[in-house]
Homo-oligomer: A and B are copies of this chain.
Amino acid sequence: MNLLSSREIRLERRPVGSPVLEDFSLHTVEVPAPAEGLVRVRNLWMSVDPYMGGRLYDNHDSYVPPYRLNHPLDGGAVGVVVDSADSQFKPGDIVFSQYGWREIYNAPAKRLRRIDTDGLPPEAFLGIAGVTGRTAYVGLFSIGQIKAGETVYVSAAAGAVGSAAVQMAKIAGCTVIGSAGGKEKCDYLRSIGADHVIDYKSEDLEAALKAAAPEGIDFYFDNVGGPQLEAALNAMKTFGRIALCGMISQYNESGVSGPGNIVQILAKRLTVRGFILGDHEDERPAFERDVRDWIKSGQLKWQQTVEHGIANAPAAFLKLFKGGNIGKMVVKLSD
């Protein structure tokens, strides 16, 4: 049978209020050798992402389906092919998949994407060279249409998407304001080139935005929603643009009240657009070319927070909502 033992994280129950460790459970399964057309993969790294928070709840209005109870969660992962019963893959290939939250799995070849790591570490494809980097890229260039000389504000700027957005906006010739909570994150923001750094935990955000951009903000890359969106609306320039990307502060809440100053969208003739990466697949080739160039030239750096082992994945995930990470949060599953 050639079984391989694999551990996986399942959704034990739907959270009541914010998610807690007890909502998740660890299980061991046996993964057989791949049948025809399947590929057996051992995950090296898995991603935990804020959007997964919304999938824990039974909310069918969401743009991604809810996780199923008593089934393994899923999400981005990078692994190595162990055995292949499909001619497109061979042992040793590095592949990206959505089969995260588990150690070993069988999947149809069409659900895997081979990665040419091109000298980058595999986990980069869960972050700067993957979904998070591409989110920053699409948000700035496609949704935001940023131009050199403009003032760009990025919230949650020490996070995975945020820190990529800060650097890419600098590469594009913009003046960049980044906000984050706490000295460590703010120091990090300065180290990656943000022109103005705001510690929203110790400063009045709206006053700080107006001081950093007395003429106003041209483009706001919103990663958080909530009070930060409200402050930004008041600091925008006439005809400014706002991209809504993540809204981490709202994923685990219901009945939150929105910004009280929506009227600014009218008064300042703003354009506010939500976007989701899946709608922008056609921009992938340009991103892959640019991001490798920028990494190799040293213009684009990244930081990650690493947790180890499948058993620690739920705790790593919950840290996302407590501001516990700088850069991309990833979980290392095997060497």
Hey, which bits of chain A sit against chain B, CB under 8 A? 61-63, 225, 229-230, 234, 238, 244-247, 250, 255-276, 279
Contact = CB atoms under 8 A, between A and B. Distances in A.
Contacts of A267: 61-63, 274, 276
A279 B269 contact: yes
Contacts of A245: 266
A53 B303 CA distance: 51
Contact of A272 (B61, B225, B272, B275): B272
Contacts of A265: 244, 272-274
A170 to B, nearest CB: 25
Contacts of A229: 262
B276 A266 contact: yes
Given A258-B261, A259-B262, 19 more contacts: A61-B234, A61-B267, A63-B266, A63-B268, A225-B266, A247-B262, A247-B266, A250-B262, A250-B263, A256-B260, A257-B260, A266-B274, A266-B276, A267-B274, A268-B274, A269-B273, A269-B274, A269-B276, A270-B273
Contacts of A255: 260
A258 B225 CA distance: 12
A236 to B, nearest CB: 10
Nearest to A251: B263
24 contacts: A63-B267, A63-B268, A63-B269, A230-B258, A244-B262, A244-B265, A244-B266, A247-B262, A258-B259, A258-B260, A258-B261, A259-B262, A264-B274, A265-B272, A265-B273, A265-B274, A266-B274, A266-B276, A268-B274, A269-B273, A269-B274, A271-B271, A271-B272, A272-B273
Contacts of A270: 273-274
Contacts of A268: 63, 274
A225 B262 contact: yes
A273 to B, nearest CB: 5
Most buried by B among A245, A270, A274: A274
A279 B156 CA distance: 33
A243 to B, nearest CB: 9
A247 B260 CA distance: 12
A258 B262 CA distance: 6
Nearest to A271: B273
B269 A275 contact: yes
A168 B258 CA distance: 32
Given A257-B257, A258-B257, A271-B271, A263 B276 contact: no
A279 B230 CA distance: 24
Contacts of A250: 262-263
Contacts of A63: 238, 266-269
A262 B233 CA distance: 13
A15 B265 CA distance: 24
Contacts of A61: 234, 264, 267
A265 B259 CA distance: 13
A50 to B, nearest CB: 11
A272 B271 CA distance: 6
Most buried by B among A244, A250, A266, A273: A266
